Amino acid sequence: MNFFEIDINYYDLKISVYIICEEGQSLLIFYYPLSIEAFTVDDRGFHNIWDIVLHDNEILSDANTLNTFFLEAIKKAGFRIIGHIYHKFADEGEGVTGLFLLSESHLSFHTYPETNYISIDVYTCGKQAICIHNDIENFFKNSKRFTVRGLERGSRLNSSVALTEKIRMKMRA
């Protein structure tokens, strides 16, 4: 009879797997900690922010085009919208700010036509928003500068993962 112990790190949660086997056949497998909840509750989140500078500011004042784009990107990614609000500024510049409240978290944006800049913030729980990223990159493909930063979040992250920031920057002429 053989006894094996394997330690697995799942974020900050250390899981010990014990296997007792005889002649290559597994007889008993058990885990520590013995909390089913530790294996089923997934509070991981993915927080991505975009800083985009355009060559032209025309679209940054167009509330309808921006809202339509973000609405379609959210739907395409399979997220559920539970609320939406936006505001087109008239007194203090011509910018637009918008927020989509999602069952998975949120998407927000704010434009500064005076500096050709848009900031976009997407936080999703449980699944990444790769599709939204691709749509944003394609929509703003003629940007002067395109920077995206991503951060994984959640209660089980260890400090090295929580501090890891992925940055991708494209400088366009």
CA distance 146 to 171: 7
Q: Is 87 a catalytic residue?
A: no
125 has catalytic annotation: yes
Q: Of residues 61, 84, 110, 131, which has the active-site annotation? A: 110
Which residue in the list 47, 84, 125, 131 is annotated as catalytic?
Answer: 125
Does the active-site annotation cover 16? no
- What is the dihedral sign for C-alpha 34, 37, 40, 45? negative
* d(C-alpha 100, C-alpha 31), whole Å: 41
Catalytic residue, candidates 105, 108, 133, 143: 105
Catalytic annotation, residues: 105, 110, 125
